[in-house]
Amino acid sequence: MNKLGNYITGNWIIGDGDGQTLYNAVTGESIGAASTKGLDFKSITDYARTVGNPALRKMTFHARGNMLKALALHLRNHLDKFYAISYQTGATKADSWVDIEGGIGNLFSNASLRRKFPDEVFCIDGESHNLSEHKTFMGTHILSPKEGVAIHINAFNFPVWGMLEKIAVNLLAGMPCIVKPATVTSYLTEAVVKEIIASKILPEGALQLVCGSAGDLLDHVTSQDVVTFTGSASTGLMLKSNPIILREAVPFNMEADSLNCIVMGEDVEPGMPEWDIFIKEIRKEMTLKAGQRCTGIRRIFVQENKMEDVWKAIGTSLSQTVIGNPLNTKVRMGSLAGQSQRKEVKEQVQKLLASSQIVYGSLDSVDVVDADGNKGAFMSPVLLMNENPFAATAAHEVEAFGPVSTIMPFKNLEEAVELSKLGKGSLCSTIVTADYKQARQYVIGAATHHGRILVLNNECAKESTGHGSPLPLLVHGGPGRAGGGEEMGGIRGVKPYLQRTALQGSPTTITAITNVYQPNAKGKDPGKHPFTKYFEELVIGDQIITEKRVITAEDIDKFADLSGDHFYAHIKTTDFTGTMFEQQVAHGYFIMSLAAGLFVDSYEKNPVLLNYGIDELRFTKPVYPGAEVYIRFTCKEKLPNDKRVVENPEDFKRGDDIEKGIVKWLVEFFDETDEITGVATILTMVARKI
């Protein structure tokens, strides 16, 4: 029998014994086995910490991000192979797209996140704080990659996305990982890991894979490790309670099952676009991936007088879904991942049936095309109705991880909010309404119990990514029953793999450590105007103090005319009684503009290619006619800017061939009393010398 490989300690190793047999979910035929018997899990964790970790932590965020991009591009060349295997899990083309290309998309998205980090092995987190009267003592926070290994224990439903969305963030952070996919669909994860390892894009030790039982893996964790778990609440609780995880205070991020709901706003009536949007969203969520999605809609809340119309409309819509062999292009819903999953879903439905009835579908039969409904793990969508959702609570507690959902009535939106919370914490919830007041009431009422809320109406439905799709830039996770975890959400998703340390010292010391200029640190004589220096030549702290310029009432009048900004505070003749100002005040933007006039160097061409924008700009003291303004201009931070790779010469844009970087400058505005009147961070694009 074809046994899956485990990629550990630099080699592909086959586990001992027969292992667990794996089946094609569509045909029921055996396709291989997975075993981790005989593996030494301690040496696997040690290898990650001693080989993978040092290799990754010495790379910068930008190098790690570029590595993710290269990996995503590489995997895109092997899509056909992955799709062919994915069909065996019962997934249709659309399901597989979410899993495979969604996973690769996540790699791309995290690769782009590198731009939010410095080109350093660690980074500053958040703002700096002056902590002393004479500004010689300050504090900030830094984030450094943990010295351990990230262990990802994943659920069976997304064997590719589940792995890639998790490893993207630990790799970007600079930590290696061990992936343990759910055994039943691990053959697809293995195929992807084979390509990743063969590509040699990741440093050795950065990724290890175990297919089959996790053995005593979690008994070897240490305080520098991170464990993530995606799966059922019961397994999660058991693993989270591991005494070694507790003793070592190992962060444990849990993404568990949840009873996500959709609510129809009170305003939605048949004939409104929102009515059809509601029905369509439910059909999509019940049938995509045969309902095996952690975010799947398990509970449907509708005002009591519309119940019958809604469940009939959902039934009609579900009846149009062709079920069967995912290789048949007409098929819209494939099978469950295996016979044991089907058995479990049916058992869970039996529990729900104690307090509800089936209004669409059947537990005993299903019409399928191009397949055998019994040999394959096929199941009909099942819509249940529970008429008494406050008293009969099984629908808020029992997850049937398949194409199963329960419709329940509410009297008014307040009740719908209460019902949504009976799920005791969910990954996501959707309200369909065209009424902004209803939307606001629901969001404010239900937000505490949900990780994500989608407000769906005719304005956004066409372009909406849908109820069930976690997105790389938005957090995924939920409180309570959903596991209490949080992942993704842009840089939020990277932070769990980084240790946050508060750092205190003098501004000059902290500038030297972080390579980011801190306000009040000593400046450096640049030797020549910084605008005449190439990117590589600029030094953090390079500083100039400009000439002075006296502000006149005429300047302010002229700026008002030029910009069209005749706000009363800038007009000489205004009666200033009861205002914030004593007299005509200069426009803040005028001061910003004249600052550029003072710090910009010359008419000669120089390495500065363009002004890229302003990150922050504050006006802290009014500037009146007669004030003498000067600027302190300091090189604050340097960020690499990757050359745009143009595959098609027609896409070439002017400047694509120039090697360059982004430079941030701290601009401090002073007046004749040497007090700061404003501060800005401006960005320029600067050419490299090479």
For ligand NAP, the binding residues (CB under 6 A) are: 153-157, 180, 182-184, 213-214, 230-232, 235, 239, 255-257, 294, 399, 401, 427
In the bound complex, what is the minimum distance in angstroms from residue 337's beta carbon to ligand NAP? Answer: 8
What are the tokens at 422?
A: 């009976």
Taking the least distance from each CB to ligand NAP, the nearer of 157 and 356 is 157
Rounded to the nearest 10°, the torsion over CA 491, 492, 493, 499 is: 100
The two structure tokens encoding residue 551: 């502000």
* DSSP assignment letter at 204: T
3-state secondary structure 478-500: CCHHHCCCCEECHHHHCHHHEEE
Task: Report, in Å, the least distance between residue 154 CB and ligand NAP.
Answer: 5
Q: Check if the beta carbon of residue 113 is closer than 8 Å to that of residue 212.
A: no
Minimal distance, residue 427 CB to ligand NAP, in Å: 6
Gap between the Cα atoms of 257 and 348, Å rounded: 13
Least separation, in Å, of the C-beta of 77 and ligand NAP? 27
Q: What is the C-alpha separation between 544 and 616, in angstroms, rounded? A: 20
Q: Is 470 helix (H, G, I), strand (E, B) or coil?
A: coil
Closest residue to ligand NAP, judged by C-beta, is: 231
C-alpha closest to that of 488 among 231, 42, 161, 200: 161
Q: Are 44 and 210 in contact (CB under 8 A)?
A: yes
Cα–chain-centroid distance for residue 223? 25
| Cα separations in angstroms, 257 against 98, 253, 254, 427, 657 | 19, 13, 10, 8, 50
**Among residues 358, 267, 282, which one has the least CA distance to residue 313?**
282
CB distance 527 to 539 below 8 Å: no
DSSP secondary structure string for all residues of 32-65: EEE--TT--HHHHHHHIIIIIHHHHHTS-HHHHH
Which residues have CB under 8 Å from 294's CB, separation 6+?
A: 155, 157, 230, 255, 256, 257, 258, 427
Q: How far is the CB of 38 from ligand NAP (least distance, A)?
A: 16
Which residue's CB is nearer to ligand NAP, number 183 or number 634?
Answer: 183
Residue closer to ligand NAP by CB (options 231, 324) is 231
Per-residue tokens: 73:
């591009």
Let me know if 261 is a catalytic residue: no
**Of the two residues 63 and 214, which places its CB atom closer to ligand NAP in the complex?**
214
- The nearer residue to ligand NAP, 123 or 153, going by C-beta atoms, is 153
Q: How far is the CB of 214 from ligand NAP (least distance, A)?
A: 3
* CA atoms of 48 and 51, how far apart (whole Å): 6
**Nearer of residues 298 and 660 to ligand NAP, judged by Cβ:** 298
Best CA proximity match to 185, nearest among 100, 256, 65: 100
| Distance of closest approach, residue 34 Cβ to ligand NAP, in angstroms | 8
CA distance 13 to 44: 12
Q: Count other Cβ atoms within 10 Å, centred on residue 344.
A: 16
Shortest Å, Cβ 399 to ligand NAP: 5
Closer to ligand NAP by Cβ: residue 178 or 686: 178
| Closer residue to ligand NAP in complex, CB, 109/260 | 260
Q: How far is the CB of 239 from ligand NAP (least distance, A)?
A: 6
Q: How far is the CB of 15 from ligand NAP (least distance, A)?
A: 12
Q: Say if residues 601 and 678 touch (Cβ distance below 8 Å).
A: no
- Nearest residue to 372 via CA among 417, 339, 325, 328: 325
The residue annotated as part of the active site, out of 165, 190, 255, 399, is: 255
Residue 236 or 640 having the CB closest to ligand NAP: 236
255 catalytic? Reply is yes
| Residue 641 phi, psi (nearest 5) | -130, 110
Residue from 68, 99, 70, 98 nearest 168 by CA? 68
Query: 177, 294, 428, 635: which one is catalytic?
Result: 294
Cα dihedral sign for 118, 119, 124, 129? negative
Nearer to ligand NAP, 59 or 256 (CB): 256
Catalytic residues: 255, 294
